[in-house]
Amino acid sequence: MGTNKRYITNNEFSGTDLVWLRDSLGKLFINGCGIEIGALHKPLKISLDKCFVKYVDYKSYEENRVRYPELANEEIVTTDIVDDGFILKSVPDKTLDFIIANHTLEHSPDPHGTLVTWSNKLNKNGIIFIAVPIAEQCYDKGREITTLEHLKRDHRLFKQNLKQEIIEVTKSHIQEFIEISDNNIRIMNSMEPADEKSKNQLCSDLIDSLQDEFSHIDGYEELITAHVKRINRVYDIHYHTFTPISYEEFLINFCDENYCKLENVTKSGDVECIGIIRKL
């Protein structure tokens, strides 16, 4: 198509960029029946008089309570659909008016393929509402920003079932997250830094587990779900990183290749960038 316009002019957060826009945009764009993936304790505030939403997570409510003890005093959503949110096997195609997924796409080993899956679940004119954290504004600060070429390559590897290449790129993602993001998290929480032996062991254990799962599966959906099962469930990493400009570039490329319209991309709350995609 090649007709999607640009909204982001720079990577800086200032002025109105510091305003939290997620909920107001949700009320503007979200209506009908749909799902929210990975809402946990921060579901999007939508107009309930014109919307019906079900919550999707690969963990049940009880599992989330155990997995996130730091949220003991927070209200978290009840998981209506226990499913891999990147594949959505339990959701038929062309049945949803919207999909909400905030701070979820960076957890996908193949963001482009995930957007393809989500768009397939939508009715005509359906909306994908997706916010991602901006690397320099969160604990990914200092990591190399994922290029569009890298995202397209990762998608090709999964579509072509190139297991060894997938293992290699996943290992590099894990190593980078452990070395930079995990260390930032420890500093933010006044924790001792991890020693090299434990970091190497963690990476080795995760990759060995993934390789074990790969030994008896084939196909795109199985490869993605293997990552959720063997990595995400154990170690909640960000595979990819974004700036506002790189995120917009990625969304424009996806929309131009998949008959979708980019309704908006905007910085929000000094931490994230929101993308709104409409299926044509």
Look up tokens 């909306």; give the residue. 127
Neighbouring CB atoms inside 10 A of 242's CB total 28
Give CA torsion, residues 55, 84, 146, 165, to 10 deg.
180
Q: Is the entire prediction scored with pTM above 0.75?
A: yes
Provide the b/e sequence for 177-212 (b: ≥16 CB within 10 Å).
bbbbbbbbeeeeeeeeebeeeebeebbeebbeebbe
Q: What percent of the chain has pLDDT over 90?
A: 94
How far apart (Å, rounded) are the C-alpha atoms in residues 204 and 170?
11
- Predicted confidence at residue 280, as pLDDT, reads 94
User: Is the predicted pLDDT of residue 55 greater than 70, yes or no?
Assistant: yes
User: Is the predicted pLDDT of residue 98 greater than 80, yes or no?
Assistant: yes
Domain boundaries, the chain: 15-135+240-279, 148-232
Going edge to edge, which strands form the sheet with 272-279? Answer: 81-82, 51-57, 32-37, 96-102, 122-133, 272-279, 260-268
28-43 tens-digit pLDDT: 999 999 999 999 999 9
Instruction: Report which of 157, 161, 192, 196 is spatially closest to residue 175, judged by C-alpha positions.
Output: 196
**What number is the average pLDDT over the span 73-83?**
96
Q: Does domain 15-135+240-279 have CATH number 3.40.50.150?
A: yes
How far apart (Å, rounded) are the C-alpha atoms in residues 205 and 225?
18
Q: Could you tell me the two tokens for 74?
A: 């927070």
- Predicted confidence at residue 48, as pLDDT, reads 80
Q: Could you tell me the two tokens for 164?
A: 């060894």
User: Is the predicted pLDDT of residue 95 greater than 80, yes or no?
Assistant: yes
For residues 25 and 50, the model is more confident at 25
